[in-house]
Structures are given as structure tokens and as C-alpha cells.
Amino acid sequence: MSSSAFDYWNGRRAFVTGDMGFKGTWLCSLLSRLGAQSIGFGQDERSPLLYREMSIPGHSHTEGDINDLAAMTRSLTGSGAEVLFHLAAQPLVLTSYADPVGTFEANVMGTVRVLEAARSVSGLKAIVIVTSDKVYRNDELTRGYRESDPLGGADPYSASKAAAEVATRAMVASFFSKSDAPRVATVRAGNVIGGGDWAAHRLLPDAARALSKGLPLVVRNPSSTRPWQHVLDPLVGYLRVAEKLAIHHKQPVEAAWNFGPEATQSLTVGEVAELFVRAWGKNAEWQAATLDGPQAKEAKLLAVDSGLAHRELNWRPRWRSDEAIRRTAAWYRDHAAGEKATDLVARDINELLAG
């Protein structure tokens, strides 16, 4: 993979909601490296936050709430963007138990308002709505979930993301059917990892926080299986979808896309913890936690089938799961040692494009 494979993005303008979040920051950094300009919209009061450590050429930001329709519409209309990436969300399962109303408001109505704002914007060609692999009704299948499988959600976060998918399809059918309307697709990926994610109740951020203080990593659900992938891999997929939507503007394009590691790459939480502490070095160690409460409700098995993206987009993960974990551990370790976040993000992006 090289930067020439992304020639479409050189000189483009992309509007990114949730640009201050973990994935949003990496996406805007990748767009910048490819020669695109990104216009961000959103707000994030969390601390620490990767975004605040970054210098991203060609990026601008407007502070605002995605549920403020008037502000969203003004910012999007004035952006001159051809592509809209909607990433703004309440992204945590455990937080959704504490604040189910806020989770549904952000994830469902936020998505509806973004699409409502987009209805009146001329020049917009493609809209990519980012949801989650947790949109599927989890039946503990031994195969990966396909885009045509039933949606569901047994917790507020998962249900809100599934509802966002349904709302998106309704908005598209009702208001985006004209030939000059932007094309819309949803993208589903889960358990992305990479340096600079400081969210609570996530395995690798928890690991970085603990190990940087010389403490052991305490792991919940060590036997749960997840599809672990570096954040840059699904982001490349999102770019591929957006390009396909924009270029094939008047041709049928799939409405939903999965992005996940190969089926053989799923690892248990315990295996991930072991790989991470080995990569960290310095006598790092992990131990299992005793569970109670909502943590125990997390699904034990969840993976998606990315066959559609393989066939239609020629997309496959650049890095194996074990390499993604080692790379993420190195990012956090080097950051704790004083290296700048901007340089560490650039290191991973440059190595991705050099491969």
C-alpha cells in the first residue's frame, strides 16, 4: 500500500464529525498525510485527549454539539466538503448503562440530525456513517456476522448503534433518492486499537495507564474473544467506501460494510493482555479481575465477516492482530517516555503507506 493508492484524496475537502475523538483524530491525521483538508465539528471535554496533543496540517475545527441542528448545518454548508464522515458518538458500552438516555440521544438523534443537515448541502457527494460491529443481534455465532444479518443490541450502546443504522436507512429512503443527492453508507468495525486512546474501560488504554505507573494490568473477561485491529485499517476501509460512493455517484453501491481482521486473527482478551505486556517489557504483568455488575453482560464472542470489502474494495487489514497489539504497545510506551503524539501517529501512518 502506498500514498499513490489514495490519489483521490489529494486536494479533497472532508467534513468529520467527532474529529476530537480517538478515531476522528487518526482519520484527520491520515487525510492530512494524503493531501486532503479536513473540517471537524464536535466537542469533547475528556482529558487526556489525543486530539489536543496533535498538530494536523490542513485541519480546522468548529466547536459544537451534533444535536444542535442549526450549528451543524451552518458548519457543514460552509465547509465546501465533498465527503462527510460521521464519527461523533457516545462510544462506550459501560457508559451507556450509566447514561442510556444520553447514549440514544447522541447515537441515534445525532445521526438523524447530521443527515438532516446534509440534505441542504450542495456539492456533497458521499456520506459515511460510522456505527459498530455491535449493531448485530448477537447469537454467539461461530462465523463472522455479515451485513445482511439481523440487527439487535442487548445493551443501550449496541441498541443505539443498531437504531442509528435503521434511522440512516429511513432517512436515505425518504430524502436521498434524487440523482443529485449524496450517496450514503454505514461502516461497521469494532475493537480498534492504536496509540492515543485514553477512554475508560478499554483494555489497551487501561493497560497503558497501569503499566506506565508500574502497576499490573487488571483484565475483565479474559476469555472473551474479540476481533482486534489497528485503527488505521478500518479507516482505510472508510476512505475506500467514501471514494466508491463519490466516484460511482449514480450507480448502486452497497449500503453497509464490515471491516474486521481475518477470521483466524481473533484473540481472547487474555491473549491480548499477554502480547501487550510482553511488548511493553520492563517487568510488565497482567491479572484477571473478579466481575460483577454490567461488565459481565458483554458478549463473549463477536466478529464480523469482511468478505464484501475484500471483493468490492480490495480491502484487507495491513497488520495482523498480534502486530497491531505490539505496535500499539510501542506507541504508548514511547509516549510515556516523552515522544510526541504527532510524531508517533505519523510513524504508524508512514509505515502503513510504505507497506
Interatomic CA distance for residues 241 and 55, integer angstroms: 26
- C-alpha cell recorded at residue 52: 489536543
Interatomic CA distance for residues 214 and 231, integer angstroms: 26
**What's the pLDDT score for residue 296?**
45
pLDDT in tens, 127-182: 999 999 999 998 878 888 999 999 999 999 999 999 999 999 999 999 998 888 99
Torsion sign, CA atoms 95, 98, 102, 105: positive
Domain that holds residue 63: 3-354
pTM: 0.94
- Whose cell is 443490541? That residue is 153
**What's the pLDDT score for residue 315?**
96
**What's the pLDDT score for residue 171?**
96
**What's the pLDDT score for residue 141?**
81
**What's the pLDDT score for residue 2?**
59
What CATH number does residue 173 fall under? 3.40.50.720
Please give the sequence-ordered ranges of beta strands (E in DSSP) within the chain, or none if there are none.
Answer: 13-17, 37-42, 59-63, 83-86, 126-130, 183-188, 192-193, 217-219, 225-226, 229-230, 256-258, 267-268, 286-288
Residues of the chain whose pLDDT is less than 50?
A: 295-296
Q: What are φ and ψ of residue 328, in 5° steps?
A: -65, -40
DSSP 95-138: HHHH-HHHHHIIIIIHHHHHHHHHTT-TT--EEEEE--GGGB--
**What's the pLDDT score for residue 3?**
65
Exposure string for 211-249, b = 16+ CB within 10 A, e = fewer: bbeeeebebbbbebbbbbbbbbbbbbbbbbbbbbbbeee
Under 8 Å between Cβ of 38 and 84: no
What is the tally of structural domains in the chain?
Answer: 1
**What's the pLDDT score for residue 227?**
76
- Helices 156-175 and 110-118 pack at an angle, to 10 degrees, of 20
Nearest by Cα to 67 from 95, 92, 53, 88: 88
- AA letter at 40: G
Separation of CA 194 from chain center? 11
